[in-house]
Amino acid sequence: MKGKIIRLLKENKNNFISGQNISDKLRVSRTAVWKYINQLKEEGYEIESVSRKGYRLLNSADLLTYEEIEDKLKTNTIGRKIYHFDSLDSTNIKAKKLAIKGENEGTIIIGEEQTKGKGRLGRYWTSPKGKGVWLSIILRPNIEPTKASYITQIGAAAVSKAISDMGIKNYIKWPNDIVINNKKVCGILTEMSGEINKVNYIVIGMGINVNLNKKEVPKELKNKATSLKIESGNSVSRKKLVANILNNFEYLYDELIEYNTITKSIEICKSSSALINKDIKIIRRNKTKKAKAINLDKDGHLIVEYPDGTKEGLISGEISVRGENGYV
């Protein structure tokens, strides 16, 4: 109901709409309208109320709800249904629960805050309220489970391009990070449920540090985490960013569904790579090996060359990669 009221207020932007008019259109009592308006004000919407005239929307809240994003969305399925939470444990956990219950492909879960944000391999993800984009997408692609890592490449390409299009230069650190000035601004966590030959569902979670200030970055992450605001010097519209990411994601994901390839995503991951042509360290089961990153192949494997001249295509998931002198 609150969503419907916001829509009416937006349609009448710059004008007043009376409580009676809203109550007639939405078939709820005027008292109910008044209560919903008060709730919206508490959520951060600036709504002017004048007796005998009604209500007028002055400013929308900085919330990542469907009503706040839909006018920028160009997709058919991705993001056409959004579960929005003020606070939740983890959008990936919630997405998996919904997927098990049969939620459709394209549904998004967004939290203004996560209390148990998850990284890979049991690591954590700091997700303070209103400061970032913490979202998960439910997918049901008809692909072999061994190709689930394609989804991470598509996600990284979609986020990187969205950030670039907002005028902020960034790099993709294979396989799942986006970095600016050698610090992590986004992490991606792809989780799958499947059988040997069949994917039941895939959840891709994206965490992007958007408007965190320097002092809001936890101490232990000071050397390796940053935000779009810290790097660009300006606040960034989270709504625009989410819409851009979802638009890019659907465009790139469609290639996988239609042709079973991810050429466009790989192109972006290559041209924005933080690793290609760099000396790197490969960490696998606590063992570190030196190599040079050479290329990304069509399946998103990172091709590396060892000092003895042998080459290998690395598969994401099993390893971590670091720059010779630090995180990148």
The tokens describing 210, both together, are: 């958007």
Q: Pick from 137, 142, 135, 143: which is nearest to 187 by CA?
A: 135
Tell me, letter by letter, the H, E, C secondary structure of 215-248. HHCCHHHCCCECCHHHHHCCCCCHHHHHHHHHHH
SS3 for 212?
coil
Candidates 112-120, 144-152, 256-264, 294-302; binding stretch for ligand BT5 (CB under 6 A): 112-120
DSSP class of residue 80 equals S
Nearest CB to ligand BT5, comparing residues 120 and 264: 120
Nearest CB to ligand BT5, comparing residues 58 and 221: 221
Residues 161-220, interacting with ligand BT5 (CB under 6 A): 176-177, 184, 187-189, 205-207, 209
The tokens describing 170, both together, are: 């960034």
Nearest CB to ligand BT5, comparing residues 127 and 248: 127
Candidates 43-51, 116-124, 242-250, 284-292; binding stretch for ligand BT5 (CB under 6 A): 116-124
Answer yes or no whether residue 66 interacts with ligand BT5 by CB under 6 A.
no
Q: How far is the CB of 133 from ligand BT5 (least distance, A)?
A: 8
Q: How far is the CB of 75 from ligand BT5 (least distance, A)?
A: 19
Residue 178 pairs in a beta bridge with 172, 186
Q: How far is the CB of 227 from ligand BT5 (least distance, A)?
A: 8
Q: What's the order of all strands across the beta sheet hosting 302-305? A: 311-314, 302-305, 287-296, 279-284, 320-323
Positions that interact with ligand BT5 (CB under 6 A) = 90-92, 114, 117-121, 123-127, 134-136, 176-177, 184, 187-189, 205-207, 209, 221, 225
